[in-house]
Homo-oligomer: A and B are copies of this chain.
Amino acid sequence: MTGTSNTPASVKVTIDAWESLFRAQVAVMRKVSAKPEFHKLSMREYDVLFNLRICPGGRSRLVDLNRYLLISQPSLSRMVTRLEDKGLITREADPTDQRAMQLSLTPRGLAVQQEIGREHVKHIYEQIGTALSEEEFLQLQQLTSKLRSAIK
């Protein structure tokens, strides 16, 4: 529970927090996107594998996966084709909906995701691990979770 009663915040405080969050995200990503793990796969491609792995059952329809990504649906469709060609993802017909495709990681896709993930975690930790105390990271996690869950 983050539990505080919510009178809506002022525009200024809201926007200042958002801009600060956004800029922090950019600063971290700039550093981390240059790391060697993203030479095998782009960050956007890694993000697809990551989101697919954490899906319930490790499977997802294209459109559902797309909700977690900033990329457009047609771009995702083509990216999935490329990842399929690389043997990292499979596209199977959904028995319950003839229009839909069930995506899932191949064993190699999972392995690649985990390998890149390990490196990525290491580099994120190198970048920010000492920036905040444990309690502060916990607070940050709670605030951003709450923020995210409030989005319609």
Instruction: Using CB atoms and an 8 Å cutoff, list the residues of chain A in contact with chain B.
Output: 2, 4-11, 13-18, 20-31, 33, 67-70, 121, 124-125, 127-141, 143-148, 150-152
Contacts and interface: CB of A to CB of B under 8 A. Distances in A.
Nearest to A10: B134
Given A28-B151, A31-B152, A136-B143, 12 more contacts: A6-B133, A8-B130, A14-B124, A16-B137, A20-B145, A21-B21, A24-B145, A26-B70, A27-B148, A30-B67, A132-B146, A140-B144
Given A20-B144, A137-B9, A15 B130 contact: no
A140 B69 contact: no
Contact of A132 (B9, B30, B31, B68): B9
A145 B132 CA distance: 11
A22 B24 contact: no
B148 A13 contact: no
A132 B151 contact: no
The secondary structure that dominates the A interface is: helix
A5 B128 CA distance: 15
Given A14-B125, A26-B69, A124-B14, A20 B141 contact: yes
Contacts of A67: 30
Contact of A31 (B125, B139, B151): B151
A132 B6 contact: yes
A13 B137 contact: yes
A91 to B, nearest CB: 23
A140 B137 contact: no
